Structure 1
Amino acid sequence: MNWDLHNPHTLDILVRADDIDELGHANNTVYVRWLERCAWEHSMSLGLGLVQYRELDRAMAVLRHEIDYLAAAYEGDELVMATWIIHWDKKLRMTRHFQLCRKSDGVTLLRARTTFVCIELSTGRPKRMPEVFIEQYGKGLTETSPE
């Protein structure tokens, strides 16, 4: 794949019949699910899953999605979603970049950015990242930002 940045965390996706909407292509809400799944899998690969979130009473919650839908995905398409952590302030916020490509022709179907904020699970309020978040998410940081 012609990735926007080096060394992505990737998720293979097969477009299923129930992903398709009335217009005959993958529904935009399905893309958001794929973004979420890719981000979760990357977090878990860095050692930060739901168990750790609950133990720490902290989580990274979506503050904002910015999505550019560039081309449609159809039933049976084999796709690859990539993600990179491109910015974080080591306090409250972290930004991920995503790119979704079709395996058969390498076409980029989607680019997105999601901004996350660290929250305290017990209150739902913003709260500074614990040290383990800084250590573990720092391992996933990509130094070069996409254009």
Structure 2
Amino acid sequence: MNWLRPGPFVVDIDVQPADIDGLGHVNNTVYVGWLERCAWGHSQSLGLSLDEYRSLDRAMAVLRHEIDYIASAHEGERLQMGTWIVDTDGRLKMTRQFQLIRPADGLTLLRAQTTFVCIELSSGRPKRMPELFLERYGKAFAESCPA
């Protein structure tokens, strides 16, 4: 695969009939769902599930999505989405990069970047990342962006 960076966390995606819009390709809103699925899968692989979020009264919430739609996906295609943590301020914000590839021809269909902010679940207000977030997400960042 021609990944943008080494060592992505990857999820496999099978394009379903419900993913297709009136123009005959995957609807834009479906891609956003795939970004979320990939990000959650990566967080869970780092040992940060909803249970950990709730017990710490913290979560990483989307602040901004930037999506470049490069080519369309169609029903029945098998795709792979990779993600990396590419930036963190070590306090409130973290940025993920995503890439969606169609393995059959190696074509990149989408590139995206999402900025997250740490919030306190009980209030919805921005709060510093707890030590566990800094440790787990920080390790993934270091692996994605070696010095």
Instruction: Give TM-score, length-normalised by structure 2.
Output: 0.97
2:129 is the counterpart of 1:136: no
2:38 is the counterpart of 1:41: no
Query: How does 1:84-123 map onto structure 2 within 5 Å?
Result: 84-123=84-123
* C-alpha deviation, 1:140, in angstroms: 1.0
2:123 partner amino acid: T
Partner of 2:15: 15
CA distance in 2, matches of 1:80, 1:115: 21
**Gap runs ≥5 in structure 1:** none
CA distance in 2, matches of 1:24, 1:13: 18
2:130 partner amino acid: P
Secondary structure of the residue that 1:43 maps to in structure 2? helix
* C-alpha deviation, 1:78, in angstroms: 0.3
* C-alpha deviation, 1:23, in angstroms: 0.2
CA distance in 1, matches of 2:103, 2:20: 18
CA distance in 1, matches of 2:85, 2:137: 8
Does the CA contact (< 8 Å) of 1:46 and 1:139 recur in 2? no
**Gap runs ≥5 in structure 2:** none
Partner of 1:50: 50
The list of structure 1 runs, each at least 4 consecutive aligned residues, that deviate by more than 4 angstroms after superposition, is none
2:12 partner amino acid: D
% identical aligned pairs: 67
CA distance in 2, matches of 1:6, 1:102: 17
Secondary structure of the residue that 1:140 maps to in structure 2? helix
Does the CA contact (< 8 Å) of 1:16 and 1:76 recur in 2? yes
* C-alpha deviation, 1:69, in angstroms: 0.1
- Alpha-carbon RMSD across the aligned residues, in angstroms, is 0.6
Instruction: Give TM-score, length-normalised by structure 1.
Output: 0.97
Between the two proteins, the alignment pairs up a number of residues equal to 144
CA distance in 2, matches of 1:139, 1:130: 14
Secondary structure of the residue that 1:137 maps to in structure 2? helix
1:143 partner amino acid: C
2:139 partner amino acid: K
* C-alpha deviation, 1:41, in angstroms: 0.3
Secondary structure of the residue that 2:97 maps to in structure 1? strand
